[in-house]
Amino acid sequence: MVEIGTGTGVSGAWLLRGMRPDGVLTTIDLENEHQRIARRIFQEAGFAPSRTRIITGRALDVLPRLADGAYDMIFVDADPAEYGACVDAALRLLRPAGVLALHGTLAGGRIADPAARDLDTVTIREVVKAVRESEEWIPALLPVGDGLLAAVKRP
C-beta of residue 72 within 8 angstroms of C-beta of residue 94 = yes
Distance CA 128, CA 113 (A): 15
> End-to-end distance of the chain based on CA atoms, in angstroms?
18
Q: Is 103 a catalytic residue?
A: yes
β-pair type (71-76, 137-142): unpaired
Exposure b/e, 60-69, CB count within 10 A at least 16 = b: bebbeebeee
List the catalytic residue out of 34, 103, 125, 153: 103
Q: What length is written for the chain?
A: 155
| Residues labelled as active-site residues | 103
